[in-house]
Structure 1
Amino acid sequence: MRLRRQPRPAPPPKLGLQGRFERQALRLLGARGGPNRRVHLRRPVVLEGQVLDAPTQAMLALRDRLGYPAWHEQPVPQARKTLRHEALVASGRPIPVAAAEDLRVDGATGPLRARLYRPGGVRNPALTWQPLGDRPPLLLFVHGGGFVLGDLDSHDALCRMLCRTAGILVLSVEYRLAPEHPWPAAPDDAEAAWRWTVAHAEELGADPDRLAVGGDSAGGNLAAIVAQTARREGGRAPDLQLLLYPKLDSTRRHRTADVFGHGFYLEDASMSWCEHHYIGVAGQPGAADRHDVRVSPGVAEDLRGLAPALIVTAGFDPLRDEGEAYAERLRDAGVPVLARRMPDLIHGFGNTFGVGRRSRDAMLEVASLLRGMLEVEPAVRGGGAA
């Protein structure tokens, strides 16, 4: 089976003058310093015994000083530009990979933009396989952004980090966004992209026995849906699911939404804004059923036999409870789960590893855990064909 469209090189997205100024401002605040470097801020933020990472606190202070509006305070097109801009500022300079190529994959109703990252340039003798080895694993990555925002460029740095550090192929896919394309366009596209990935894995140069699906925030929601749908329908299931601070349950309000829903980047009002665009207002005509497992995969009744999961949450994240509750439910269903909380970080830290050492170390740990879980033999890992 041949690719419908040959890949073409994709250079890293570039920052304009304003973005370079903001990145320099982060440096002046000390936000790129190590853990022992003092950042001149007010008293440390401590909640539930957790101390917010100082460079992250500096970044949030800079956003306030620059007057960045929240998502819900902007028209959708402008909010999309803001998210992309902030991600490029906070992720630092582009991470080199062997190749980044733009291509098209099949969505539910037509082709979707995608970007394939190929590992290379780093050799670590402590690891079982090398980035330049034949047929590395492949991660299908689905970006976050509340089902309304986000694209290939906003998550370019995160995908480069996972590709280079874990030594795996990463295929990042853009799905249709609300409000132009409300639910179920996003899960339809994610499921179609997974089927396309399975069909083209060998042609992409991947090990067909090591195929993972993953995403951050809303992308974590879609990755969980892909894993559940593949198991339910009897198709080729992922060998692993990476859920990075995922959004999993829209049926109720979790406690951490009250504790961390203001002042830690992901605003409560912005989450409601995204939900209204994506699934509508509960009780109103045309609204999606929030209990549908393709809206809230975290409330699915039967989780037995799902792909092993790496679930990463952040301490200062309104979505923290959702991810950790899902990890417990998967364990109770007999699914292998590795759950890791980054107690001093915020939602979206996967896009802020240019802001201080802690965010970068956290993402290095995520990549290492991802790679380690993919190294386990499929029969032991429990994934593979359903």
Structure 2
Amino acid sequence: MFGLPRPVKRLIVGAPVRADGQELDLDVQLLLLMTRLENGDLAARTVERARRGLERGQIYLDRRPSRPVRTRDVDAGGVPARLYTPQGLPPGSPLLVYYHGGGWVVGGIDTHDTVCRYLAVHAEVRTLSVGYRLAPEHRYPAAADDALAAYEFAVTGAEKLGADPEAVAVGGDSAGGNLAAVVGALAARRPAFALLLYPATDMTVRRRSRELFADRFYLTDRAMTWYADHYCPDRARRAEPAASPLLADLREFPPTYLVTAGFDPLRDEGEAFAARLADAGVPVAARRQADLVHGFANMWPLGGRFVEALAEAAGALRTGLYAGPRGRGTTGGGR
């Protein structure tokens, strides 16, 4: 379907979709149509169905970078994790500690395998993907506690992982972006860099994008409410920095690349977080991929704008770690 000529795809999906001064990418429009025909819903009637649905969706996106990547399972301070090492990457490389998305309820190391492989190869970093505990079996702050524990393990054991302890970054998408931001704000030892892909940053305020893109654009407002109620049902605790890092003291936050999607209910809170970083004096590159939707990182195997956006994020991570204040010089494989 995605390999069809553009005029044919346009005939299939109909007129362009425009909102808030933005036009939805044609391939995104096609993907959303296919999702609706399959009755895809991120907030299923049961947690088990939602988890199976996300896992099934990844079957169609099982593309890997051509460069081989070695993997091994790791016990990251009591938290299951998987280490990705691209072929030819020398010892002492930077390390990315990555937290998967899924609303703190669904997803896992396997659902984000292709994303971690892509970032490892194209950013020239070892990547430690963290399998933190999920709600509702383990409610807030279990995921945040696991995120901090895995990061502490990575920093203290970086050399055993083949990495530079002075160049450990954190990153994640959606709920994983929330956890990466929590670590960036609360960890005793500041990460070298933060890669935040359309992060959830504030559970206390409904911003304009939640209303503008409440439905029809993959992640819905209903799904966000469903996730939050499973993860942190105690509304009084949602203002805690470990739940809403937007409300944390961000003056010591690491240099950051933060990307949002134009047609995403989480867009405005992600951009509010970037603005708070800038106000706190933190170097931050804020980028809106105006024609995309939430979850585009997982969609990179479809090519087009999906892979372009993730390639930009990988390039920002590579630049931030290799050409940042520590001046790490040339990268390993150079591919």
TM range (shorter): over 0.9
TM-aligned CA deviation for residue 278 of structure 1: 0.8
Residues 5-59 of structure 1, C-alpha deviations (whole Å, 9 max, x = no match): xxxxxxxxxxxxxxxxxxxxxx3xxx24587874421101111121111111111
**Separation (CA, whole Å) in 1 of partners of 2:56 and 2:170:** 26
Name the structure 1 match of 2:246. 298
Task: Report 1:89-100 matches (<5 A).
Answer: 89=60, 91-96=61-66, 97-100=68-71
Q: Is the CA contact 2:197–2:260 (under 8 Å) kept in the aligned structure 1?
A: yes
What residue in structure 1 maps to residue 333 of structure 2? none
Structure 2: tracts of 5 or more residues without a match? 329-335
Classify the secondary structure of the residue corresponding to 1:360. helix
Instruction: Give the aligned residue type for 1:329.
Output: R
* Residue number in structure 2 paired with 1:241: 194
Are the structure 2 counterparts of residues 34 and 303 from structure 1 closer, same or farther at C-alpha, using a change threshold of 3 Å? Answer: farther
Shift of the 290–237 alpha-carbon distance from structure 1 to 2, 3 Å rule, reads: same
**What is the distance in 2 between the residues matched to 1:316 and 1:212?**
27
Q: Which runs of 4+ in 1 moved over 6 A?
A: 34-37
Separation in 1 of the partners of 2:284 and 2:59?
31
Partner of 2:265: 318
Whether contact under 8 Å (1:98, 1:119) holds in the other structure is: yes
1:74 aligns with 2:71: no
Deviations 1:96-154 (A, max 9, x none): 53312222211xxxx2221111112xxxxxxxxxx533321100001110010110111
Number of matched pairs: 326
Structure 1 equivalent of residue 215 of structure 2 = 262
What letter corresponds to residue 287 of structure 2 in structure 1? R
Counterpart pick for 2:80 among 113, 116, 124: 113
Q: CA deviation at 1:92?
A: 4.2
| Residue of structure 2 in register with 1:57 after alignment | 29
Q: Distance in 2 between matches of 1:254 and 1:240?
A: 27
**Which residue pairs with 1:359 in the alignment?**
306
Could you say which residue in structure 2 is the equivalent of 1:204? 161
CA spacing shift, 1:36–1:303, aligned 2, 3 Å: farther
Larger Rg: 1
Question: Hey, what does 1:24 align to over in structure 2?
Answer: none
In structure 2, which of residues 68, 88, 112 is the aligned counterpart of residue 155 of structure 1?
112
State the percentage of identical aligned residues: 45
Read off the aligned partner of 2:312 and give its amino acid letter.
E
Calculate the TM-score normalised by the size of structure 1: 0.81
C-alpha distance 37-334 of structure 1, shift in aligned 2 (>3 A): farther
* 8 Å CA contact 1:137, 1:207 repeated in 2: yes
Change over 3 Å in CA distance of 1:171–1:35 after alignment to 2: farther
Structure 1, gaps ≥5 residues long: 1-26, 121-130, 283-287, 382-386
What SS is found at the alignment partner of 1:273? Answer: helix
Q: Which residue of 2 aligns with 1:339?
A: 286
Compute the displacement of 1:67 (Å): 2.2
Deviation string for 1:334-363 (max 9, x for gaps)?
100011111110000000112241101111
**Change in 2 beyond 3 A, CA 1:132/1:251:** same
